[in-house]
Structure 1
């Protein structure tokens, strides 16, 4: 079989935020893993034990083989002792980001140690929801603590009605020290320009010897674009953003809530792609 590995985003791709895996997705991933295909997650979330525990929570009969976390700032490969942390924002860059956002109706969030130490500028519904979903340990801090250490990313949450204002602020204040990527409406993430899911996928391919051309990738939002472009076949969910659909090789017939990944894999199986 041509395909040697499959990577998929979590929220909006494999499952709706906080939800379980669809039955067809579970079935198809299990069948592929039994055929020797490596199954990995690619997420904006930090890599920690909670990500690996999703296999059990989703009742999958296998453990994940790899995880791309923090939109490509983290890479974990089964068999390796440590998670690789790459291209973190400097303390000066984090300070500049915080100063840029000063006075705006936003919550800035940094993952110091995965979900075991999350610092933020305010406790709000998003943080409280994350604490429930992910058993996060979050704390509100003064702005100066936000830039006390380098950060894998600065995640910024804001009310949906502030979307146009925040995007204009970012467009009017570009900086070579960072890039910004939208992850879902009402959220944007600041990262080092060298960070992307695509660059982490390239590193995974180099370190495992699996050619990029033999990797399938699923995603739905702008932070998935580079991964879909690097993979041998990049697939966007029907609920994905317009730029992500345009960058993908193909788009699923069904949205995430309709078991989009699993039904697309089922179609590929029926077409003989996995023989």
Structure 2
């Protein structure tokens, strides 16, 4: 590969690491080499910034902070060089109500993020597992109206299986979509609703505009539906081999190794660095 890219941006979960696995040494060395060469490095996550995203650089022992971090699938953009955070297009109360009431026939538990904690309709093993995995507090609403007391970045629905998601949750969710919001899967058992204007690709583009960088100079790594726009808009896109079929189909390349085997770093060393 001859082109030198100015930005490398990557999703986190199932791209830089997988559930139950730590961030690997080859990934670390690849990021350090990119940084050494002057490449700007970004994270693009579906999780909110407050959920430890700014701590990953130290946790992964990189020796530097990421140049930018995208949270909430493009609803938040943190520019570390300016120490500025921009928040974009949250779901408004009327929209939150429309979605949560509309999804009630699925009997699936809605989750939303509030600053510092996660809020759900009732306590169950899926809520407890998510709170433990992400090391954040979880709370249960006293009444359903609490969900739409203030705007939120997104609404999530988790299921016990991929079959429950595809047979029960997705079909109803798709009937609710309109010009304001849409839904997508980020895992086989996780569906999210958010504002149509927000996606990781648009957020990367906002960072590029602010720094006079063309999207053609961006290399993006992802694995799931919420990475699609970022991968389509980037100058070059790479899907992890453990990624979804749709992502592999639109990617310029697919890694030889999965996320839990440092597929990101191995691909960079084998094909770019």
- Contact 1:179 1:191 (C-alpha < 8 Å) held by counterparts: yes
Question: Residue deviations 1:144-175, cap 9 Å, x none?
Answer: 10011111111111221411211111233332
Matched, 1:181 2:179: no
Tell me how far 1:203 sits from its aligned partner: 0.4
d(CA) in 2 for partners of 1:18, 1:197? 25
Q: Which residue of 2 aligns with 1:69?
A: 71
Taking structure 1 as reference, are residues 126 and 65 closer, same or farther at Cα in structure 2, changes over 3 Å only? farther
Matched, 1:86 2:88: yes
Q: Which residue of 2 aligns with 1:228?
A: 231
Q: Which residue of 2 aligns with 1:139?
A: 139
Aligned residues: 268
Tell me how far 1:195 sits from its aligned partner: 0.7
Q: Which residue of 2 aligns with 1:206?
A: 209
Q: Which residue of 1 aligns with 2:29?
A: 27
Question: Residue deviations 1:224-247, cap 9 Å, x none?
Answer: 000011111111111111111112
Tell me how far 1:18 sits from its aligned partner: 5.0
Provide the TM-score with structure 2 as the length reference. Answer: 0.93
Matched ranges for 1:1-275 at <5 A: 2-17=4-19, 19-48=21-50, 50-113=52-115, 116-141=116-141, 142-160=143-161, 161-163=163-165, 164-269=167-272, 274=273
Give 3-state SS (helix, strand or coil) of 2:184's partner. strand
Runs of 4+ with deviation above 3 angstroms = none
Deviates more, 1:85-94 or 1:165-174: 165-174
Question: Residue deviations 1:107-157, cap 9 Å, x none?
Answer: 2111121xx132111223333233333331221112110011111111111
Taking structure 1 as reference, are residues 49 and 81 closer, same or farther at Cα in structure 2, changes over 3 Å only? farther
Tell me how far 1:208 sits from its aligned partner: 1.3
Deviates more, 1:251-260 or 1:65-74: 251-260
Provide the TM-score with structure 1 as the length reference. Answer: 0.92
Taking structure 1 as reference, are residues 63 and 81 closer, same or farther at Cα in structure 2, changes over 3 Å only? closer
Taking structure 1 as reference, are residues 221 and 47 closer, same or farther at Cα in structure 2, changes over 3 Å only? same
In structure 2, list runs of 5 or more residues that go unmatched.
none
Question: Residue deviations 1:74-94, cap 9 Å, x none?
Answer: 111113343211011111000
d(CA) in 2 for partners of 1:49, 1:211? 29
d(CA) in 1 for partners of 2:55, 2:174? 38
- Contact 2:45 2:71 (C-alpha < 8 Å) held by counterparts: yes
d(CA) in 1 for partners of 2:32, 2:122? 40
Question: Residue deviations 1:37-56, cap 9 Å, x none?
Answer: 11110010001261111122
d(CA) in 2 for partners of 1:206, 1:268? 28
Give 3-state SS (helix, strand or coil) of 1:53's partner. helix
Taking structure 1 as reference, are residues 82 and 122 closer, same or farther at Cα in structure 2, changes over 3 Å only? farther
Taking structure 1 as reference, are residues 170 and 130 closer, same or farther at Cα in structure 2, changes over 3 Å only? closer
Tell me how far 1:24 sits from its aligned partner: 1.1
RMSD of the alignment, in Å? 1.6
